[in-house]
Structure 1
Amino acid sequence: MEVVSILLRNPFHHSLPFSIPVHFANGTYQVVGFDGSSTVDEFLQRLNQETGMRKSSHSGFALFTDDPSGRDLEHCLQGSVKVCDAISKWEQALKELHSGKSEGGTRVLKLMYKNRLYFRSQVKGETERERLLLAFQTSGEIVAGRFPVNKELALEMAALMAQVEYGDLERPVPPGPGGTPPSKAQHHLQQVMDRFYPRRYRHGAPSEQLRHLADQLTTKWAALQGCSSPECIRIFLTVARKWPFFGAKLFAAQPVQLSSKESTLVWIAVNEDGVSILDHTTMQMRVTYPYSSLMTFGGCRDDFMLVIRTIPDQSSGKGHSEKLIFRMAVPEVVLSLPEA
């Protein structure tokens, strides 16, 4: 990692001995310099200054690493940790996982800057860069099925993101007598469908239906001609923020209390106010537990457990605790629940 870092460093841009790229939700990255004593907080201070973002306690953004095993799992770095220590531990884990295998030496740590917890009270101070990244991250949640949109709204949101990413729709040139390769517009249209339209609405759909979707998307995208990127981002976020759980982090889980014959899933939504349980299909709230009632959380054998303090009984005045147990990927929630 040290060699790679030095190779990536531009001596005219960075006075510190090391530098490493930090990746954003919109596919761009920023190379940030650091030294052997730099903490994550100090690293983020430089990153925020260079990208026009507020400090993390206001923006809710945090620094994440990918998982050395290659699993779809991200690790949030605490502010007091030294960047070099985090890199060293990641590389050591990679060596242990790939002991004696060549692929272990070809991967390097990937740093990502993403919104970890959304604060409604801090919306007024958002910078343009924060809004851009928040929109791209929300779009990713829509594509992955972790944000409630119907097919019509999904097309509207995809068209807005297309206008942000590519600008005005380029009208395709009719093919000549001998036929021509796909135009740039057709290529962009396919990329928009892949990047910004929910996978669940495309999966298994017949080709005729997909062509119809592409035509509808083309119409909506063309209607945005002349609309600037900041304006499209503003419209996108205005619509997205109407959902009460905008900015929450969702994790699929199965309540263990259900009988073995049932496979009903729910969403555990970690948000600014507490932990909510949502219906997996409609994403409507079933119940919310404020952080003040959350006694503890963590692994319970192979499951995930929340211990909730219930309202004291009026007659006895005594409170009770309730254990909620879920089957799920435990490390994801343990890493993502904020400190109460």
Structure 2
Amino acid sequence: MPFPGGLWWLLCCRQGFTLLRRDYGEADREADGEAEEEEASFELRAQGDQGSLEVSLSQPTRSSSGSERSLLVAEEMRSLIIEKGPGPVEDDPDALVKGWLQREVRGGMKTPWIRPRKYWFVLTPDSLDYYSSNEKGARRLGSLVLTSLCSVLWPDKQTYKETGYWSVTVFGRKHCYRLYTEHLNEAVHWVCAVRKVIDSKAPVQTPTQLLMRDVEEHCGSPEVLEQIYRCNPILRYTSSPLYAPLLPFPYGSLDQSAPSPRSYTTLRDEAVKLFNSLQQLESERDPVPLMQGVLQTCLDLPPLVDEIYCQLVKQTTEPPAPGGQGDLHYWQLLTCMSCTFLPSLPVLRFLHFHLDRTESRFPGSEMAKYACFIREALGKTKGRECVPSLEEILVLMQRQEMICTVHCPGAPACSVAISSHTTAEEVAQELVSRLGLSQSPNLFALYEQSRRREQPVGSTTLLADVLTRFENLAGEEREQDPPCRLCFKHYGFLDTDSVPRDSLEFALLFEQAHEMVLRGYVPTSEETLQTLAALRLQSLNSDFSTHAPFPRLEELFPPHVLHARLPAPRRRPSTKCRGARLRAGLLAGGLWGQALAKQRAERDQRLRGRLREEGASTMAAIVEKWKLLQGMGRPEAMAAYVALVREWPGFGSTLFDVDLRASPVGAGPQRLWLGIGAKAVSLYKPGEPEPLDSFCYGRISSFGASDSSTFRLSVEDRDLLFETSQVDEIAQLLNTYLASAGARQPLRPQEPTPSPPTSDPPTLPQGLCPPAVPWQHRPPVGSLGS
């Protein structure tokens, strides 16, 4: 027998009120002792737990049947429930938008012979309802209550291409309405109206947020605080799963437009999954990978940082075995979080209160030691680019520092103790002091070295992030690739003439000059390159001996010189006729293809044989020159090596491979070397010893990044555009040289001023040409110094 109309309305209204009440964070309690509806609660308690779920929203000294704050919330939610008749009314004053929309589109593309089913939708200030028709007395088929946590998606063109309809997606607590219309303006009108209703709603606050406020208000009353914790299990440890997050998150799916190797669902679902992962920590023998996974999720989804902090505070509050293995795992993850992420201010205040409470309740315990460590870490954490590495997590679990190995060319490697907050500049300064380079006029920095490239580490970059990147790259590279490492080297060459030959700095200068030679950045004759290789051997092994260890040729001589001797591969003439290309493709896939592959393999084998022959003859010439250096000591060999390299006018400059284009719409780019030195910026044609052009810093009016791969250098009345992948490195090096030379003026607007300045230009160091126009620095985007 069907329900009477009045009873059916009462049940629907009761269910809508319960839904609203839960969204506003009020606890579900029944005075007659009936069972609670656990499925939608914020925390599901096991049947063995004593007592019912009770959330006190104000002073716990009052009666547990309700509080002033919960009564106000209840009254507010009751005001949202509007009594409605059995169907839509055309002149309903609460209806904001009304119209026909389709609930779903099935079958993919739009078909003209099948008329889709439409429903009558009515948007009110509290809900989005749809009916079977627009007639009075029509049956209401569904309703979506709108709160501040609801969300709506704009119509996208991809859905229109696939279905022929513009979509409007509205996410609610339990339901998601995907609505469709044929007209874009109608879809936009619905989206704007729904968005306006959502924005007008008061922010939803969960019981955890309200209790955090209560704890903060009564932090000076221990009796009230103990009653708050005793009467509210949601603040304490639980062994049961969590079916809803502790903090409010918007309903709806995440934006997966950004490329990411990981796929996530909604924030609410990810928060619940993370709590399940936290509970697995208690029994894990090796919790480090699981901890790193939790940290990575927080890095990918920043809104979850506060949620994980609240979950960890909850699980470390009155655990069943304080100081046990499971409890310490929670504290260890909280330690890693404090060294990686900084929570919002409300959560940070609640966390500090939790740390103080733990230290006062368990003085001298492991939990108190972790609490003290976390408090100090929170004062230093500023955000990370990467999550802690496995090694760093192990060290943080012991509340210790990491040992970082920094390689110094020409000197033994140095071991430096670092924390999660140590920057590259701090380590570089420590090495400068340790190696006795404090009096050197030159500049030093740390470099990331890998098989593919070498780049300086930004002064504010955390070394812990660099080590994490090394750990990630180690899993991607092949076994024969050398591991990534940190190196301490010259960064800016301000004065290379006054470096003593018997100093450690000269050894660093010698090694860096040799690296430039091997990379082909010292254009000189092949005879000179062989002499440099012989001097290198003399510095390594002293006098010639058949028993001396012999390095590989590519460690002594630039490999590109040998490759340049090989004959260039002959290019086959391009076939313009379509039929000829088709025949060539068919032949390549048959027997002719196998013959061509065989010919290609034979040609490669001949080239390798030719390369070995050239290498052997070059090595023989190097050995003959090495024999002539009999009796030369290591310092003399190093000095002779550096003197030969110094003959190149560009010695001391840092070279960057760039493509020059005269204007954004000019001709094709020209491959050049951009040399940045202490006194000038020069342009070289690769392999040519003399520069094509050179600009002292006084002629440069501005510089900066036009985009992520284009560097702009304004010289007097012209702009030079360079295409390069090292925009930030170039800008940072220019900033460094200008700061050291004292040629940079205070920042001004990016557009040059038409009138000359009234003040006299500053006095420049000797060797710098006078400025033609006032210096105007255009700061690059994301420079290393930032």
Quote the residue 1:245 is aligned against.
650
Does the 8 A contact of 1:297 with 1:304 survive in 2? no
The structure 1 residue matched to 2:457, chosen from 68, 76, 80, is 76
* Structure 1 residues 127 and 119, CA gap change in structure 2 (3 angstroms): farther
The structure 1 residue matched to 2:523, chosen from 148, 159, 164, is 148
Offset, 1:223: 1.7
Structure 1 residues 140-149 or 283-292, which shifts more?
Answer: 283-292
* Structure 1 residues 260 and 221, CA gap change in structure 2 (3 angstroms): farther
- SS where residue 720 of structure 2 aligns? strand
Offset, 1:5: 8.0
**CA deviation string 1:262-315 (max 9, x = no partner):** 6642210000112111122313112222223333333324643333242xxxxx
TM-score normalised according to structure 2 size: 0.34
The structure 1 residue matched to 2:558, chosen from 172, 184, 198, is 198
CA distance in 2: counterparts of 1:40 and 1:127, whole angstroms: 28
CA distance in 1: counterparts of 2:707 and 2:390, whole angstroms: 41
Does the 8 A contact of 1:298 with 1:330 survive in 2? no
- The unaligned stretches of length 5 or more in structure 2 are 1-387, 567-609, 739-786
Structure 1 residues 322-331 or 227-236, which shifts more?
Answer: 322-331
CA distance in 1: counterparts of 2:421 and 2:517, whole angstroms: 39
- The answer to whether 1:168 aligns with 2:168 is no
Quote the residue 1:174 is aligned against.
none
- The unaligned stretches of length 5 or more in structure 1 are 9-15, 172-183, 311-320
Quote the residue 2:633 is aligned against.
228
Quote the residue 2:464 is aligned against.
88
The letter of the residue matching 1:46 is: E
The structure 2 residue matched to 1:337, chosen from 720, 734, 739, is 734
* Structure 1 residues 202 and 126, CA gap change in structure 2 (3 angstroms): same
Quote the residue 2:721 is aligned against.
325
**CA deviation string 1:218-265 (max 9, x = no partner):** 111122223221111111112222222111111122211389876642
The letter of the residue matching 2:516 is: E
CA distance in 2: counterparts of 1:127 and 1:7, whole angstroms: 42
Matches within 5 A, 1:33-72: 33-34=417-418, 40-54=424-438, 58-66=441-449, 72=453
Structural RMSD (CA): 3.7
- The answer to whether 1:269 aligns with 2:675 is yes
Does the 8 A contact of 1:58 with 1:122 survive in 2? no
**CA deviation string 1:99-123 (max 9, x = no partner):** xx9649x999732111111123762
CA distance in 1: counterparts of 2:411 and 2:501, whole angstroms: 20
- SS where residue 285 of structure 1 aligns? coil
* Structure 1 residues 208 and 48, CA gap change in structure 2 (3 angstroms): same
* Structure 1 residues 17 and 262, CA gap change in structure 2 (3 angstroms): closer
CA distance in 1: counterparts of 2:641 and 2:444, whole angstroms: 19
Structure 1 residues 110-119 or 22-31, which shifts more?
Answer: 22-31
Does the 8 A contact of 1:52 with 1:127 survive in 2? no
The letter of the residue matching 2:446 is: L
Q: How many residues in Structure 1 have an aligned counterpart in Structure 2?
A: 296
Does the 8 A contact of 2:422 with 2:464 survive in 1? no
Does the 8 A contact of 2:422 with 2:463 survive in 1? no
The structure 2 residue matched to 1:136, chosen from 504, 508, 511, is 511
The letter of the residue matching 2:403 is: S
**CA deviation string 1:180-213 (max 9, x = no partner):** xxxx55x61x52x211211122225534433221
* Structure 1 residues 226 and 17, CA gap change in structure 2 (3 angstroms): farther
Hey, which of these two has a bigger chunk of strand by percent? 1
Does the 8 A contact of 1:303 with 1:325 survive in 2? no
CA distance in 1: counterparts of 2:686 and 2:454, whole angstroms: 21
* Structure 1 residues 262 and 50, CA gap change in structure 2 (3 angstroms): same
- The answer to whether 1:117 aligns with 2:117 is no
Does the 8 A contact of 1:143 with 1:195 survive in 2? yes
CA distance in 2: counterparts of 1:36 and 1:282, whole angstroms: 45
